[in-house]
Amino acid sequence: MKEELMILLTAAAPISEVRGGVPLGLALGFTPLKAYLLALLGNGLIVLPLLLFLKYGSRWLMGKSVTGNHFLSWLFIRTRRLHGERFENAGVVALALFVAVPLPMTGAWTAAILAFLFDFSLWRSFIAILIGVAVSGAIVLALSMGFIQLF
């Protein structure tokens, strides 16, 4: 049980995410399917609380701090005016593709921040991020097992 928790926590962490959870699970001797599912679960469990925290945390901060209110209002108006409502459907698809690329800083944490900044629908963002995490985890699993070789 201790090793499973390590994989869940590694996959939930902002830097390693599923890209760290899958190889860790394989290194600990788990079957590829179990390592993949544990990493997927760990990375997926953080997405909805993170999206909700960003939404309600920013509202709270805007109500409590004049400086926070000014900064976040400026950020939201600027971001949403330049990029927001025009392409939410394409933006949600792009969000899934962004997360699917298993590179540093393209994971669920960054995608949740982007979905929040662009004011994408909560549930559509959540599903898109989960799809991206699943694809990214499959790519990392294939790379880890040698099915895909980069060099």
Q: If pLDDT is split at 50, 70 and 90, which confidence band does 138 have?
A: very high
Q: Is residue 151 part of a domain?
A: no
Banded model confidence at residue 62, pLDDT cuts 50, 70, 90: confident
Q: Following CA atoms 104, 107, 112, 118 in sequence, which dihedral angle do they give, to the nearest 10 degrees?
A: 70
Say if CB 37 and CB 44 are below 8 A apart. no
Q: Report yes or no on 71 lying in a domain.
A: yes
Average pLDDT over residues 119-137: 94
Q: Is residue 150 part of a domain?
A: no
* Residue 107 CA: distances (Å) to CA of 44, 49, 59, 62: 11, 15, 24, 27
* pLDDT number for residue 124: 93
Token code pair at residue 12: 């939930």
User: Per residue in 18-37, pLDDT tens?
Assistant: 999 999 999 999 999 999 99
pLDDT at 35: 96
Domain hosting 123: range is: 2-145
